[in-house]
Structure 1
Amino acid sequence: MIYTWLSVFLCSFCVLALEISLTRTFSVLFRSPYVFLVVSVAVGGLGLGGMCASFRRLRAPADERAFHARLSLVSLLLALSIIAAVLILFATPLAPRLGGGGEVWVVILLPLVPFSLAGFFLASVFSHHAAAGGRLYFADLLGAAAACVAAIVLLRAFGGLNTQLLLACLAASSAFLLAGPAARRWGLATAASVVAIGAAALLGYNASRHAIDLPALTHASPDNPYIKPLFLEMADPRAGTRLVHTEWSTFARTDVAENAGTTSKFIWTDGDVPTEMVPFRGRLDDVAHLREFIGFLPYRLQRPERVLSIGPGGGLDVLLAILGHAGHVDAVEINPAIVPITERFREFYGDLYHRPDVSLFVEDGRSFVRRSQPSYDLIYMALAKTATVSTLGLALSENYLYTTEAFCDYLRHLHPDGCLALLLQEKIQIDRSLLTAVAALGRERGLSSHDASRHLVVLSLQEPFPPSAGPYRYLLLMRATPYTPETADRLLQEAQAVRLRPIFVPFRVEPAPYDSLMDTRLAPGELPLRFAETYPRFQGQLLDLSPATDDRPFYADFARYLHPQLAALLIGVALFSAAFVAAVLVWLRHGGAESATAGAREDAGAPGDDAAGWPVGVFVAYFAGLGIGFMAIEVVLIQKLMLFLGHPTRTLSVILFSLLLFGSMGSLYTQRWSAAETLRRVRVTALLLAVCVGTYSLILAPLLTQFLGWSLNARSLLTGVLLAPVGFLLGMPFPAAIRWLQPRCAMAIPALWGVNGVTSVLGSVLAVSLAKLAGYSATLAFGGAVYLGIAWLANRAPYPEPAPPSPAPPHTPGR
């Protein structure tokens, strides 16, 4: 049995680590909706593999050695499929065409294969050893928890593609253990060892030669909405883009690129929104041209003593502060790869982050602001990012730096004459930010929209925008104290000196729709509509420019309801899940469970009931509910705790690791229950979980606020403690039901595993969709309601004793 547990641990480890590495790899090439689609389809393969295992389960192996040999073969195929996917996608003539037409389906469907094999493997093990379901699920969740921590190290050390080759090596090693010591099939063991050695050799070769890497997508059209701009730029010979350094992490892949015709270097985070690294040798006269840059305007208006720069990237924001004679700069960068990159190029950019008047912090900017004590003369953000679930694979467009609560935090950390400066690319982003600032001034200081508008200024470059401007086009200023006619005149004078266009300046430039800010008769909800009317309608609907909040932080999503891409994904996943569940129901009612229930059907009575009298539809709904409810709760807890931790890599290792670790403990605890009473206890467990989730939704936010000042290690420990009870309870219902089914309808277990796997994908997409429509608090309540439904389903199951088991077949020694 030890080999079975170890193989389950390794398989689960490989599955989650593969999901993380695929998410990181595809996030560099493609935009988030497409990545979400690819990863969702791939993970859905777990369910398909479970269904396939149901058909294979009808032909049970003769003995334990034969079963281990079957598992070894599946694990070997898993290793081969991972290697094949890497080579086909990134080492064949297909690679440059991945952004083209029909090749898109290869990207979507090829990763489906290894996940389907993993689903087949795990469903087969749970079906064959269902009586030990608590121990097996313990090994399953423990392997996933280990992958959360290991992924941080593996991605940093090997990168996305090489990590996948390493996982293939682990899968082949698992095949060797199952074939050799467990099954005594040494021919199969030899094949597994050859694959493991081959994967390791390919990994070593690629680590030194970089023969397999992410390609320039030469066959993608320049306006392809799914391709990241770095790889479109690399495919354009006129740009002359060349990568000179790459860093991987669980947060992002970070590339340093050089372009023809410029002396600067550009740091790309996941192939998007480059930040400039300007050559600097310590002489300010050499960078005097930056005084005419739009981002330098705040320093033309004041000489700040203390500056907070959020998202400084390659150091341009810090260089502007030094050029503006700032006294001290706190630079807060979320991307941990910036540290080794700036160390590598320290002579190129003047080693700005090691100056005595600069302090560099690697964490989420919003979390830093909430926990910091000092006040600032200037808070500066240029195209800043934040830690979100999208960096972990559950992609949408969250950004906690631009919510109403965030602007309130900024106001609380500004000196009386301080200013917040936001540099953004699109006007619609500036308009939403302006409305968010109005809402924050109203909440924090009780100001009307008219009075709040006196604190705000919007400027832009002259149109048409010059190509050299890049994404730095619009500037929003929010002062802690209101502008006066005199300060507005001085601002206009400085803006005109560097050829900036005033869009809104109180007292002086107040065109429509900004004049609606002065209309005190308008309700707060009407202001976003006035601004939305100035933009083209989207699918017949006005755009949504209402302020983002921490509960609905989708700052860059302007669709009034669900974005069409997310809606299409939700509909597609829902239809596939419904079809899959319907197929399982039909199969269990009329075919698949027949052999398992034939001996007890006379006692069971009604058609469609299993051997114990529990309707098939009840336990199909039970496992579907577990998939949906687990993911809804997990996604929301990650979001709510992310700002508290504030460190992107620590977020993954602490939050997911804690949920999975304590879930494995809860699973192991269920092994102490007798099989006959498992569902009785599930009723209590599900009710406790619903109560726990409801309590968290009420107390979590104010509770975490009290401990923001703690150190990162202390906050990590507190996060683990808070997640312990809900994680422990989440780990119980699945193995308990597996053990209850084993003496009654064991043939149904792989199919039900498949239902759980498919609906888990539905749960993640549904959670993000509900959060967009109603907020994360409502989504968490939905997850709790699902577990109330699970308690009701468990209550519907009758509890007669199972039929006595058939005599065990005689043992046949393996060959």
Structure 2
Amino acid sequence: MLESLITRRRDLVGIFMVTAATLMFQIVLTRIFSVSMWYHFAFVAISVSMFGFTIGALLVFFYPKIFTKEKTHYHMALSSLAFGILVIFSFLTQQSIPFMTDVGDSVIALYSILLMYMVLALPFIASGICVCLILTRFPKQVGKLYAADLIGSGMGCLLIIPAMRFTDAPTAVLLVAAIPCIGAIFFSWARGFSGIRNVAVIFTVLLLLGGIVNTLTPDGSAKPLRLRWVMGIIETESRKEYWNDFSRVVVRGNPDNPERKPSAHGLSNMYKGDAKVQQMMIVIDVIGATYLTNINNDPKNAEHLKHLVTNSVHVLRPDSDVLIIGVGGGRDVLSALIFDQKSIIGVEINNNVIKALTEDFADFAGNLHEDPRVTIVVDEGRSYVTRQDRNFDIIQLSFIDTFAAGSAGAFVLTENALYTVESFEEYISHLTDRGMFSVSHFYFRELPIQVYRLTNLAYQSLKNLGVEDPHKHMAILRHADGWEFKTGIDFKTGKLGFDDVATLLISRTPMTEEDIDNLEAYALANDFEVVLSPRGAKNDEFYKLATGQPLVELEASLPVILAAPTDDAPFFFHSLKLRGLFNAEMNKHGLLSVNIRAIKILGYLLGAVILFAAVCVVVPMSRAIKQNASRELLPFLGYFFSIGLGFMLLEMSIMQRLMIFLGYPTYALAVVLFTLLISSGIGSATTQHIPVESAKSAGLKRFAILIVLFLIVQFFGPDLLHYFRGSVTPIRIAIAVGMIAPMGLFMGMAFPLGLTIVSRDHESWSPWFWGINGASSVLGSVLAIAISLNASISASYWTAVVCYLVAIACFAAFPTKAKTN
């Protein structure tokens, strides 16, 4: 009877709704965590969701007397409804608990985080129960059911992007919560569960109405549902708030405030001019900040821009065509105009930042975009440069990290993709013969690790382009800020502290004597220091890096990474070796203190998920031992664990790689997850009519094809991506889909084929194997980042391949014929 009922289309719609909402809520949580806590906690949202999903499966396994076959449909409807209700409960609870920034230093702070995560896991537990029941109670339909599961997840990934652009994250939570409630309506329809259906209808209507009201309410404190606790403090009212799928942008400040003397990173201490400006702050996910500047249409109020260390490139290359990567509040665009450059193209990845600059606060910012010399483009900087068939006299990249990547422990790949050997090669290759590339960053006096790595990047990229003596093409200018902030980030106040600002200049051709003379004159007039030039260096470290000599003593004495990042290991802001995690001295060195905290969180999380996976294996296995079934179950255990771990490792490594190729975080998220999940769903559906007697031989043939596809992608994929890197976006998306879809098709066959065989002989253990698959996925989501950080993206990919090889060995050990009793 169960098998016939599940074939109803409404049940397929129900599982589609539940899995779509599961992935949507997971993505929304990453955005909320990025704002209410630190970036590195946002990453943990992935593991929290998988943790809850696995617990749900284990509950079905351990309590068969509650989750009886006769009540399967009832529990499917009930858990779907509970999922929607718990989404709201968990979000409201999370927003009621202030985030304590001293995690690791306080037992109470640690407890608050654990409590928050346990609460947020509750909706995923309900989702896990629902999906586990559907996939394990109807083995004859597992192919099409698992297909509906994966396709629902893929569509959820796709739908959350417009949802987050149309409204804000708190409102998105309401809309996401309504989806499983709708699923409960489909599960309960015509089955006599009128109570569940009526409650689901009421909640659906209320949630949708709440979403509409919250969306239509103007920005500010009047919104009924908004983020309250941000970085452990109650957030003050903002002038304007924007959300999209990868950031939250708020504009703060009063445009009517009186004018004041300008302040800017890298402004010369010698500047004594009369410029007066008004400024408003654009804050990106709490940590990143940029400023809108109003000079009241008086160029004299922008004279200070001629005394910034970051603008030294304009002094050396007047009358130039300029490309600015990272427009922000428009300061670099305004600077280029003040220096009377010929043309300016400004590229900014965040459409909401551009909306603030060119629409909502355009008059305040001086309508920079209306100047005929200025073109503003919404795009990812590196990707835009790569696609250009023209060269520029100046390419400028100033502070395009805003501490976000550092606070994420280099988990944020969008910014890191700008700082690799391959990206620097692209910038330099798109310079004219007189062209110059300018990149500015904070300079920490005691250990300027980021500027060291920039210098190494410059050397390696120039060397790869055939330059015999890169040292003659480089110069570094430093401004001693003199501010008294603590170096790094104060986790209790959220304030940033740093020492100085440095600008690295890279010339397409060797710097001339006139270039060096002009640079030294500009430095002298503004009290800047020439740290490096073709005429020499202020210290041995910069000279050795600029001439390709290893810093043996520095690397031996300090646990830092000086190697130039590459596309296969693009973690520019991850500068600390593992042995430096518990080195107290490292907390005194700028962004390393932030990096340490982020990596510790990753380490704690990795330890926790390993323990969790071990418990998921050991506790049920003890029951198998008592039943003398452990030997029979071991191949199945190894199989489902390996395919869960391998799937997640491969998904994460491909996403990391294609984020660089596609040039936009949204594209990578949507293309990789959507394509992988949809193709896997189609692959699962193709197994629906494979009889159990033929499942083993059919599976081995399909696994052989999958391994061949893995090898083709690894050996030929990088060349393919490099060849099409300059193509238009639709072509690059098509190439990415073409790489992912064949692998996804065969990866999607693994789970239903395995479950078909295990259900034949050990049906009661099916929920455990589904839980094991989830537990290994939790481990894989963390392990993928750990491997990529400490080795490379390729290493993470090869680990996934090994997992599938182990799965094949386990699959081959499955019994061919049904067990006889």
- TM-score normalised by the shorter chain: which range applies? 0.7 to 0.9
Give the Cα separation in 1 of the matches to 2:19 and 2:537.
60
CA spacing shift, 1:188–1:301, aligned 2, 3 Å? same
**Contact 1:308/1:331, CA 8 A, preserved across alignment:** yes
Asked if 1:78 corresponds to 2:45, the answer is no
Partner of 2:381: 365
Which of 457, 471, 496 in structure 1 is aligned with 2:524?
496
Provide the TM-score with structure 2 as the length reference: 0.86
Matched, 1:202 2:218: no
Q: CA deviation at 1:639?
A: 2.1
Change in CA separation of 1:692 and 1:385 when aligned onto 2, cut-off 3 Å: farther
The one-letter amino acid of 2:775's match is: V
The answer to whether residue 539 in structure 2 is matched with residue 511 in structure 1 is yes
* AA aligned opposite 1:117: A
Instruction: Identify the match of residue 462 of structure 1 among 468, 476, 480.
Output: 480
Distance in 1, Cα, partners of 2:520 & 2:69: 85
Is 2:723 the partner of 1:706?
Answer: yes
1:128 is matched with 137
Instruction: List alignment gaps of at least 5 residues for structure 2.
Output: 1-5, 104-108, 261-277, 486-494, 580-598
- TM norm structure 1: 0.86
Is this contact kept in 2: 1:265–1:278, CA < 8 A? yes
- Identical counterparts, % of pairs: 26
**Residue 238 of structure 2 aligns to a residue in which SS?**
strand
**In the TM superposition, what are the counterparts of 1:227-246 in structure 2 within 5 Å?**
227=231, 242-246=237-241
Find out whether 1:15 has 2:22 as its counterpart.
yes
User: What is the Cα deviation at residue 394 of structure 1?
Assistant: 10
**Structure of higher RCO (CA pairs closer than 8 Å, 6+ residues apart):** 1
Shift of 1:802: 5.0
Find the residue that maps to 2:506 and give its secondary structure. strand
Answering whether residue 175 of structure 2 is matched by residue 166 of structure 1, we say yes
Q: Is the 8 A contact 2:409 2:573 kept in 1?
A: no
Residue identity in the other structure for 2:472:
R
Residues of 1 paired with 2:405 and 2:813: CA distance? 36
Tell me which of 387, 391, 410 is aligned to 1:375: 391
Q: What pairs up with 1:675-754 in 2 under 5 angstroms?
A: 675-754=692-771
Q: 1:89 aligns with which of 91, 94, 98?
A: 94
Distance 1:394 1:202, change over 3 A: farther
CA distance, structure 2, for counterparts of residue 363 and residue 369 of structure 1: 10
Q: State the match for 1:310 in structure 2.
A: 325
Compared CA separation, residues 148 and 390, structure 1 to 2 (3 A) = farther
| Larger mean Cα displacement after TM superposition, 493-502 or 402-411 | 493-502
Structure 1 residue 201: Cα displacement? 3.6
Structure 1 distance, partners of 2:676, 2:319, is 44
Q: 1:394 to 1:723 in 2, by over 3 A?
A: farther
Contact 1:632 1:779 in 2 (8 A): yes
Judge which range, 392-401 or 510-519, deviates more.
392-401
Q: Is the 8 A contact 1:36 1:394 kept in 2?
A: no
Preserved contact between residue 98 and residue 107 of structure 1 (Cα < 8 Å): no
Question: Out of 647, 657, 665, which is 1:630 matched to?
Answer: 647
Whether the aligned pair in 2 keeps the contact of 1:589 and 1:616 (CA below 8 Å) is no
- Alpha-carbon deviation of 1:47? 0.8
Provide the residue aligned with 2:244 in structure 1: 249
- Is the Cα contact below 8 Å between 2:328 and 2:354 reproduced in 1? no
| Matching of residues 83-482 of structure 1 within 5 Å | 83-90=88-95, 92=96, 94-95=97-98, 101=109, 102-179=111-188, 181-207=189-215, 208=217, 209-217=222-230, 227=231, 242-258=237-253, 263-342=278-357, 343-385=359-401, 395=411, 399-426=416-443, 427-447=448-468, 451-465=469-483, 473-482=501-510
In structure 2, the CA distance between the partners of 1:518 and 1:375, relative to structure 1 (3 Å rule), is: closer
Q: Which residue of 590, 598, 602 corresponds with 1:566?
A: 602
Rounded Cα–Cα distance in structure 2 between residues aligned with 1:489 and 1:390: 36
Provide the rounded CA distance (Å) in 2 between the counterparts of 1:785 and 1:725: 19
* Structure 1 unaligned spans of 5+: 218-226, 236-240, 595-606, 805-815
Distance change (3 Å), C-alpha of 1:770 and 1:625: same
- What CA distance in whole angstroms lies between the structure 2 residues aligned with 1:173 and 1:138? 20
Are 1:617 and 2:634 counterparts? yes
Q: 1:187 to 1:389 in 2, by over 3 A?
A: farther
Quote how far apart the aligned CAs of 1:693 are. Answer: 1.2
Q: Which amino acid aligns with 1:31?
A: W
Distance, in Å, in 2 between the alignment partners of 1:185 and 1:518 is 73
Aligned partner of residue 465 in structure 2, secondary structure: helix
Between the aligned partners of 2:450 and 2:143, the Cα distance in structure 1 is 50
Partner of 2:13: 6
> Which amino acid in structure 2 is aligned with residue 113 of structure 1?
L
SS in 2 for 1:797: coil
Q: Which of structure 1's runs of 4+ aligned residues deviate more than 4 A?
A: 95-100, 259-262, 388-394, 466-472, 517-520, 530-533
Q: Contact 1:12 / 1:141 at 8 angstroms: preserved in 2? A: yes
Q: Given the superposition, is the C-alpha separation of residues 242 and 279 from structure 1 closer, same or farther in structure 2, using an over 3 Å criterion? A: farther
CA positional deviation for 1:499: 2.6
Question: Cα deviations across residues 499-520 of structure 1 (Å, max 9, x unaligned)?
Answer: 3233223315432322434777
Alignment check: 8 A CA contact 1:375 1:415 kept: yes
Question: Deviation at 1:626?
Answer: 1.0
Aligned to 1:813: none
For residues 417 and 180 of structure 2, the distance between their equivalents in structure 1, rounded to whole angstroms, comes to 38
Quickly say closer, same or farther: Cα 1:708–1:543, change in 2 above 3 A. closer
Distance in 1 between the 2:663 and 2:391 partners?
Answer: 19
Q: 1:186 corresponds to which letter in structure 2? A: S
Alpha carbons of structure 1 residues 487 and 82: separation in structure 2 relative to 1, 3 Å: same
Alpha-carbon distance in 1 for matches of 2:784, 2:660: 19
Go from structure 1 to structure 2 and tell me whether the alpha carbon gap of 1:98 and 1:104 turns closer, same or farther (over 3 Å shift). farther
Letter in structure 2 aligned against 1:210: K
In structure 2, what is the Cα distance between the partners aligned to 1:39 and 1:477?
40
- Partner secondary structure for residue 346 of structure 2: strand
Aligned residue type for 2:226: D
Equivalents in 1 of 2:749, 2:364: separation in Å? 55
Call closer, same or farther: CA 1:12–1:216 in 2, change over 3 Å: closer
* Counterpart-to-counterpart distance in 2, 1:190 and 1:99: 45
The structure-2 alpha-carbon separation of the partners of 1:74 and 1:470, relative to structure 1 and needing over 3 Å to count, comes to same
Cα 1:519–1:428, aligned 2, differ >3 Å: closer, same or farther?
Answer: closer
Partner AA of 1:116 in structure 2? I
1:670-691 deviations in whole A, cap 9, x for unaligned?
1121122223222222222222
1:728-750 per-residue CA deviation (whole Å, 9 max, x = no partner) reads 01111011111222222111111
Aligned residues, how many? Answer: 747
**Contact 1:83 1:199 (8 Å CA) reproduced:** no
Equivalent AA in structure 2 for residue 376 of structure 1: F
Name 1:31's counterpart in structure 2. 38
Query: CA-to-partner distance for each residue in 1:163-216, whole Å, 9 max, x for gaps?
Result: 11111111222222322x242121222222222233234333433242222224
Deviation at 1:293, TM superposition (A): 2.2
Amino acid at match of 1:252: S
Measure the CA separation in 2 of the matches of 1:364 and 1:20.
21
> Residues 510, 377 of structure 1: CA spacing in aligned structure 2 closer, same or farther, 3 A cutoff?
same
Specify the SS of the correspondent of 1:57: coil
